[in-house]
Amino acid sequence: MIAHRVSESSSAGASADASASASASESTDSSAGTAVRLRRRGVRRWAVPTLEVGSGMALAVVGLIAVGWSPALVGVLYLAAVTPALVRIDLTVHRLPNVLVLPGYAAAGVSVVLTWVADGGLPAAALIAGAAWFGFLLLLNLAGGMGMGDVKLGGVLGLVLGAISVDAALLGPMLAFLSGGIAAIVLLVVRRRRGTRMPFGPYLLLGFWAAVLLSSSPL
């Protein structure tokens, strides 16, 4: 009888030890998993800003090569700095933050004023392009097909492209709507349902940069 109780006690002790060992192992695995997740999160935290800074610098170089040391360079450089962040945010949460978009009017305004001083006449192309982009996108917004962030960004893009040339001001919206239309068709075919929201800011910016490059090309 005593031997039986000792056996039961030993068995219970062994079970407790096994349970404690398993718990310790799970705790170790959990800690290791948490450490890995934290390391990955830290890598992402550094990778995204680094990628955006690198992309912005690359766009700045492209802009400098395309427009040279012209008055429009001020607006182009500002857009180079904010384009990567605007694209990421719009693709992620479908927003174009005012804190990034609205200062663009100041940069574009500097380009317009410098163009005025350099040319000795009112830069009508820039003013008309900015107003036209803003007005057209505002109409689309009122019809429910465009966000106000796109409207405000469009005004900035129009001013800067108009300060570059009339060709750039015309090419920008054409290329933006062409690329956006193609993307919408692809999205519709792939997902096979209507009503899917699609951020348009990246296509406005794509049209802008394509127009900057094409308007400076001798071809």
Q: Quick check: is 5 in a domain? A: no
* Cα angle: 199, vertex 207, 91; to 5 degrees: 20
Classify each residue of 42-52 as buried b or exposed e, where b means 16 or more C-beta atoms within 10 Å of its C-beta: eeeeeeeeeeb
| Distance between CA atoms of residues 214 and 219, nearest Å | 8
Q: How far is CA 198 from CA 6, 50, 90, 177, in A?
A: 72, 26, 9, 13
As for how many domains the chain has, the answer is 1
Residue 26 lies in a domain: no
Residue 121 lies in a domain: yes
- Say if 194 falls within a structural domain: yes
Give the model's pLDDT for residue 144. Answer: 84
Residue 76 resides in a domain = yes
Query: Does 36 fall in a domain?
Result: no
Residue 33 CB partners (closer than 8 Å, separation 6+): none
Question: How far from chain centre, in Å, is Cα 168?
Answer: 22
The domain of 132 spans: 49-215
Burial class (CB in 10 A: 0-12, 13-18, 19+), 110: middle
- How do the pLDDT tens digits run along the chain, 219 residues long? 444 443 444 444 444 454 445 444 444 444 445 444 544 544 455 556 788 888 999 999 999 999 999 999 999 999 999 999 999 999 999 999 999 999 999 999 999 999 999 888 888 999 999 999 999 999 999 998 789 999 999 999 999 999 999 999 999 999 999 999 998 888 888 876 655 678 999 999 999 999 999 987 554
Distance (Å, rounded) from C-alpha 57 to C-alpha 59? Answer: 5
**Residue 188 is assigned to a structural domain of this protein:** yes
* Residue 159 belongs to some domain of the structure: yes
